[in-house]
Amino acid sequence: MKHQHASPSLEHWQRLSPWAVGLLLVTSAISIVRQHLPLVFGAGAGLVFIERIGLYEALLGGVSLLLAAILLSLQYYRRFRFRLDGDVLVIQKGLFEHREFKVAARHVQHIAIHQPVYMRLFGVVQWQVETLAGEASRIELPGISRDLAEALGQRLGSSAPRDPKASEWHESSAKGGQIRFTITPWALTLHGLTSRSIYVIAAMLSPLIRPVERWAHEHFPGSGAREWLIDSPFMTLGLTVVALVAILATLAVFASWWRFHGYELRDDGERHVQVSGLLQRQEQALSLRRLQVVEWAQTGLGRVLGRGYLVCRQFGAPGGGEAEEGRRFLVPGLTRAQGGDLIRTLWPGISMSNALSGVSVIYRRVLMLRISLALVAGLVGLSWLAGEGWPSPPAWGWGVLAVILLLVVWILAYLRWKALGWSREGRYMRVRQGLWGHRTSIFPLHNVISVSIQQSWLQRRRGLATLHLFLANGRLTLPFLDKRVAVELADRLLASVEAPLSVE
Amino acid sequence: MTFSNSSVEPDTLPAVEEARLTSVSPRLAPCVALQQMWRWLLLTTLALLFPVTNATLAVWQPWFAAGVGGLGAMMIVAGWLEAKRRAYGVREHDVIYHRGLLIHRTQVLPLVRLQHVETLSSPIERAFGLVRLACFTAGGRGADLLLEGLPARRAEAVKHYLLSRLDSDGDGQPPPSPPPSASG
């Protein structure tokens, strides 16, 4: 078995794997291409650029850049070294400026191992560590052997006392532990459909709309199909929407399979470890001592299909989109029951049976007012932009439009107000937010960072207050609570933080 | 491990509302007003001198600039009044900062969360002898609590108290008393 090999001596200086030079080039190239994809292909800028300078010159430039990149990678490899000094990881690196980083084991909150498909052949992985300072503190060893990565993870990932002579200490616990969750192909597919990937993919592909449109005009200039489409605008619109949704859904499912294929969540005692990925295997370890907030997220479609996912939040991970969550410790494709079971595992003692308390109905009216104002501002802006082209329907038409808009505003305000809820259960708190989809944050009271009570002029008149809870991953807001409730909750939360053992 | 879940009477908890707060320096109000004045003066000048090619809009430009100036004057007065109402408190276990004119905000930062304290001052603040005290917690991208309008000596005293709390919490020592005039 691979893990029975003697682990490398981490106390001596270690270098990156020799393969790291080539892999660094590949990784950097993929990263640059991915980041600049819209710029290069979005409006055909890449082709125009090559046409302008000539193919031969472009190739020459490319080869020169490649040579420079190889030289720089070799220099980077030469300078990069690391070792463990007791429980402190020391890293020295830098091309033109020599830098030394030190990461103490007690400050580590997150360790991840990535292995893209081109690294598998060489048994090399990318190893990342993140401290309590969050993402900004992330340090990466861009190409080391898997044994070395696992040994480092074991040494830094646990603060449990251990025998200082035991350099092979990790072997006893590696790959051990209880399997908490494994994903099925059906759950993986449903996760693709019900996660927010579909919106992210739509945003990523939006720069391609114009080139595709141009291509369609050039290739179908006078065909019968085009004339038929022009004659049936509603059919065209319907078909376009269906085709777009089908393409996006397929891509979202593919993304889900790519990221979470073979997903396995393992309980390793002090930490939870997840392994997943179709071609790029990814292993993430979550230290339970560093866990701050668990979020149970369900999109609108996810609620209909009874599927959701868990996001485990630590310090310095502000809420973001799917791309942000892709790097977080995420448990995908869960049913409600599975999600509840996992939450109870992560937060022992919580039952999640308490009904959520809502906020004042005045919040719904405030929401209606805010949405109406935004809508009116939007319509005024549109009419100003359209100028003479703005349609002028009869008076009854405006009336119907106003009624429809009011109905939409009321539904939106009602859904957002209804979704908002909170509950305190022993030493835990749950806060739910959302519109069509819901996101419920569950955290121990003593994990709150700070608390803010806010009262507007209207709220003072009505005896209400807004409570802001600042957590390790961002802010949660409970608007328009009864002031007495808000103040009492703030006092209890502060007491839990300041004397965590006495207030439960 | 046994899980306990005993009830705690809310009345026995220390109440944020009852904390005694100390007003910030009275010099903060003119300092804030001056800062706002520079900002709005710049905006008004921009509104007045921005090249407008459309003749109809150009007629309205001075009125628009006057409107921006009027709004600025209102904001300066509001800023002055708001700065006079700010207050802070340092309790045994937390720091409190209260601010706001139409919207009142009271933020409480438990000292156990504190990681780092910094004092900052702009040239205008230094002219008024004022200092900002920025309190940082783990993982934050900016200051989690910013106490504005502290006289320089008071800011130093509060900073030293907070730093001593950081040291004592790390050593497991009992906490020192808060600075006398800032305690709640």
Query: Any idea where the domains of chain A sit in the sequence?
Result: 7-159, 196-258, 362-386+393-418, 421-504
Helix (H, G, I), strand (E, B) or coil at A494: helix
Task: Give A470's contacts (C-beta < 8 A, 6+ positions apart).
Answer: A448, A449, A450, A451, A452, B144
Please enumerate in sequence order all residues whose Cβ is within 8 A of that of A431, keeping only pairs 6 or more positions apart, or say none: A421, A422, A440, A441, A469, A476, A478
Which residues numbered 138-157 in B keep a CB inside 8 Å of some CB on A? 138-141, 144-145
Chain A contact probe: residue of B103, B115, B135, B145 with most A CBs at under 10 A: B103
**Which residues are A10's β-sheet partners?**
none
Among A4-8, A241-245, A284-288, the range scoring the smallest mean pLDDT is A4-8
**pLDDT score, position A381:** 87
Q: Which residues from A are below 8 Å from B10, CB to CB?
A: 488, 491-492
Note which residues in 381-410 of chain A have CB less than 8 A from chain B.
none
Most A CBs within 10 Å: which of B82, B96, B113, as the mutation test of the A interface? B113
pLDDT-derived band of residue A14, with 50, 70 and 90 as boundaries? Answer: confident
H or E element: which one contains B22? strand B22-23
Average pLDDT, chain A: 82
Query: Is the pLDDT assigned to residue A17 strictly greater than 60?
Result: yes
Tell me which residue in A314, A452, A504 faces B106 most closely, judged by beta carbons. Answer: A452
The CATH architecture one would assign to domain A7-159 is Roll (2.30)
Please name the member of A453, A498, A499 whose beta carbon is closest to the beta carbon of B106.
Answer: A453
Q: What is the pLDDT of residue A322?
A: 43
Structure tokens at A158: 């646990």
Please name the residue of chain A whose CA is at the shortest distance from the CA of residue B2. Answer: A349
Beta-carbon separation of A451 and B139 below 8 A: no
Number of helical H runs and strand E runs in chain B: 4, 7
Reply yes or no on domain A421-504 having CATH 2.30.29.30.
yes
State the average pLDDT over residues A333-343. 92
A134/B141 CB distance under 8 A = yes
Test the A interface: residue of B82, B99, B106 with most A CBs within 10 Å: B106
Q: Is the pLDDT of residue A328 over 90?
A: no
Fold agreement (A7-159, A421-504): yes
Query: B159 and B90 in contact (C-beta within 8 Å)?
Result: no
**A449 and B109: CB-CB below 8 Å?**
yes
How much of chain A exceeds pLDDT 90, in percent?
33
Q: Is B94 on the interface with A (CB under 8 A)?
A: yes
Instruction: Give the residue, A4 or A362, on which the prediction is more confident.
Output: A362
pLDDT score recorded for residue A87: 82
Sort out which chain A residues have CB atoms less than 8 A from B13's CB and list them: 488, 491-492, 494-495, 503
Q: How far is B16 from chain A (nearest CA, A)?
A: 6
pLDDT, residue A162, reads 38
Q: What is the pLDDT of residue A165?
A: 35
Contact A384, B57 (CB under 8 A): no
CB-defined contacts A:B, below 8 A: 102
Strand partners, B137: B114
A157-204 residue pLDDT tens: 654 433 333 333 333 344 567 888 999 999 999 999 988 888 888 888
For an interface test with A, which of B95, B104, B115, B165 has the most A Cβ atoms less than 10 Å from its Cβ?
Answer: B104
User: What ranges make up the beta strands (E) of A381-482?
Assistant: 421-425, 428-434, 438-444, 450-455, 464-471, 474-482
Full DSSP string of A464-476: EEEEEEEETTEEE
Contact B141 A498 (CB under 8 A): no
Q: Chain A: nearest CA to B99, how far in angstroms?
A: 10
Q: Which residues contact A5 (CB under 8 A, 6 or more apart)?
A: A147
Give the Cα separation of A152 and A103 in Å (integer). Answer: 12
Strands (DSSP E) contained in A94-174 are 99-104, 108-115, 124-131, 139-145
Tell whether the model's pLDDT for residue A207 goes beyond 70. Answer: yes
Tell me whether B175 touches chain A (CB under 8 Å): no
Give residue A453's Cα distance to chain centre.
29
Longest dimension (CA), chain A: 87
Q: Look at residue B31 in the predicted model and tell me its pLDDT.
A: 95
Residue A5 is predicted with a pLDDT of 45
pLDDT of residue A370: 94
Task: Print pLDDT tens along chain B (184 aa).
Answer: 455 555 666 667 677 777 889 999 999 999 999 999 999 999 999 999 888 888 888 888 999 999 999 999 999 999 999 999 999 999 888 899 999 999 999 999 999 888 888 888 999 999 999 999 999 887 666 778 999 999 999 999 999 888 888 776 655 555 566 665 554 3
In this structure, the dihedral spanned by the alpha carbons of residues A80, A83, A87 and A93, taken in order and rounded to 10 degrees, is -20
ipTM of the complex, rounded to two decimals: 0.83
Taking the Cβ of residue B2 and every Cβ of chain A, the question of whether any pair is shorter than 8 Å is answered with no
Number of Cβ atoms within 10 Å of the Cβ of A32? 12
Are the C-beta atoms of A82 and A20 separated by less than 8 Å? Answer: no
- Which helix (H) or strand (E) covers residue A34, if one does? helix A20-35
In chain A, pLDDT over 70 holds for what percent of residues?
84
Find how far residue A386's CA is from the centre of its chain: 38
Q: Quote the strand ranges of A11-123, DSSP E.
A: 14-15, 81-85, 88-93, 99-104, 108-115
Distances (CA, A) of A10 to A107, A146, A161, A284: 19, 14, 18, 21
Asked if the C-beta of A143 comes within 8 angstroms of chain B's C-beta atoms, the answer is no
Q: How confident is the model at residue A389 (pLDDT cuts 50, 70, 90)?
A: low
Q: Does A11 touch chain B (CB under 8 A)?
A: no
Quick check: B112 and A498 CB within 8 A? yes
A269 in reach of chain B (CB within 8 A) = no
The alpha-carbon gap from A465 to the nearest alpha carbon of chain B, in Å, equals: 10
Cβ distance A112 to A282 under 8 Å? yes
The pLDDT assigned to B7 comes to 62
* C-beta of residue A127 within 8 angstroms of C-beta of residue A134: no
Choose among B8, B104, B113: nearest Cβ to A455: B104
- State yes or no: pLDDT of A457 exceeds 70: yes
Q: Which position has the higher pLDDT, A21 or A266?
A: A266
